[in-house]
């Protein structure tokens, strides 16, 4: 028996939402059948019209962060929180004696504020709002001298240089055929870009011209690594050549060791290099 004009065909009755979505975007495998089904079924036409309105007004959702992003950032932050010995005491040596524990606890708390603020800024996303400067992230604690505060800022810069050195070392040691080497480090590099700009601003205000020059030289390479989520093996080779050509690993190591000497503590994992820098 033939269908009555007001009775939908079997194709019209079975048309699903997935097929309607594909038809809306012009990707249906059988567009003529879909159009026929829509012509025969008022219910299908109504569903398609509602679906088309929703799709037309939909906005693209922001990409989800990598599932292991939190774990990777924590792996890089953890060495900064666990020192081989309490060398932070040396930062306050001019301000307090061996028995004065109050300023030391103040300094340790301020150090954690620096790390926590940088991590929070990274997870919050790349907003258009102006970023806070280092002075607002590390308010002057009660009882902490100006000299001790300056040493705290330099120690934070040294920690940033050590993290950048570890990143460049991993990129340098990656196998030339490893197409995923740069992509795996892009999130880490992105976090370092944000902190690099923060520390450069603080160093410039403090008159640390040599540190400013080093951070200026470091930032373009960090940006390149941060934007390498879809990099090819030849991009890895180019990054390795650039690291070697600029001698950034050596400069980061020497500057970090100098900052540690100024703080009166040896740099963890430092290596001796017989070269000199001007």
Q: What is the pLDDT of residues 9-25, one digit of tens each?
A: 554 556 777 787 777 77
Q: Kindly indicate the confidence band of residue 113, based on its pLDDT and cuts at 50, 70 and 90.
A: low
- Out of 34-38, 71-75, 136-140, 209-213, least confident range: 136-140
Confidence at residue 268, expressed as pLDDT on a 0 to 100 scale: 45
pLDDT at 115 over 80: no
> Tens digits of per-residue pLDDT, 214-252?
999 989 888 888 887 666 677 778 888 888 888 888 888
Sequence-separated (6 or more) residues with CB below 8 Å from residue 249 = 165, 168, 169, 172, 243
> Tens digits of per-residue pLDDT, 73-83?
666 666 665 54
Confidence at residue 229, expressed as pLDDT on a 0 to 100 scale: 66
Confidence at residue 273, expressed as pLDDT on a 0 to 100 scale: 41
> Tens digits of per-residue pLDDT, 146-193?
677 677 777 888 888 898 899 888 888 888 777 676 777 778 888 888
Task: Report which DSSP code applies to 2.
Answer: P
> Mean pLDDT, the chain, as a whole number?
68
pLDDT at 7 over 80: no
Confidence at residue 124, expressed as pLDDT on a 0 to 100 scale: 44
**High-pLDDT (> 70) share of the chain, %:** 53
**Mean pLDDT to the nearest integer, 22-50:** 81
Confidence at residue 225, expressed as pLDDT on a 0 to 100 scale: 83
Highest average pLDDT, of 57-66, 92-101, 220-229, 249-258, comes from 249-258
Confidence at residue 185, expressed as pLDDT on a 0 to 100 scale: 78
SS3 208: coil
**Mean pLDDT to the nearest integer, 268-276:** 41
pLDDT at 56 over 50: yes
- Measured between its terminal Cα atoms, the distance across the chain in Å is 96
CA angle centred on 70, ends 64 and 71, rounded to 5° = 130
Confidence at residue 152, expressed as pLDDT on a 0 to 100 scale: 77
Kindly give the residue spans of alpha helices, DSSP state H, lying in 124-232.
Answer: 134-137, 146-173, 181-205, 209-226
Q: Sign of the CA dihedral 18, 21, 26, 31? A: positive
Confidence at residue 24, expressed as pLDDT on a 0 to 100 scale: 75
Sequence-separated (6 or more) residues with CB below 8 Å from residue 176 = 233, 236, 237, 240
């Amino acid at each position: 028996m033939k269908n009555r004009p007001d009775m939908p065909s079997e194709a019209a009755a079975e048309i699903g939402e997935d097929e309607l979505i594909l038809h809306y975007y012009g990707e249906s495998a059988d567009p003529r059948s879909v159009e026929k089904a829509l012509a025969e079924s008022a219910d299908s036409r109504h569903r398609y019209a509602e679906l088309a309105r929703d799709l037309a007004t939909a906005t693209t959702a922001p990409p989800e962060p990598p599932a292991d992003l939190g774990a990777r950032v924590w792996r890089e932050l953890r060495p900064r929180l666990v020192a081989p010995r309490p060398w932070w005491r040396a930062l306050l040596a001019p301000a307090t004696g061996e028995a004065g524990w109050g300023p030391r606890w103040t300094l340790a708390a301020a150090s954690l504020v620096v790390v926590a603020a940088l991590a929070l800024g990274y997870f919050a996303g790349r907003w258009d709002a102006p970023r806070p400067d280092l002075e607002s992230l590390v308010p002057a604690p009660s009882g902490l001298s100006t000299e001790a505060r300056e040493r705290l800022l330099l120690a934070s810069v040294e920690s940033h240089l050590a993290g950048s050195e570890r990143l460049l070392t991993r990129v340098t040691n990656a196998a030339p055929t490893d197409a995923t080497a740069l992509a795996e480090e892009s999130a880490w590099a992105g976090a370092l870009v944000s902190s690099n700009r923060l520390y450069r601003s603080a160093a410039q205000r403090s008159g640390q011209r040599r540190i400013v020059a080093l951070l200026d030289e470091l930032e373009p390479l960090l940006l390149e690594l941060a934007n390498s989520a879809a990099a090819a093996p030849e991009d890895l080779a180019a990054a390795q050549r650039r690291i070697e050509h600029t001698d950034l690993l050596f400069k980061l190591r020497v500057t970090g060791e100098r900052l540690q000497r100024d703080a009166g503590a040896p740099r963890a994992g430092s290596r001796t290099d017989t070269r000199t820098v001007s």
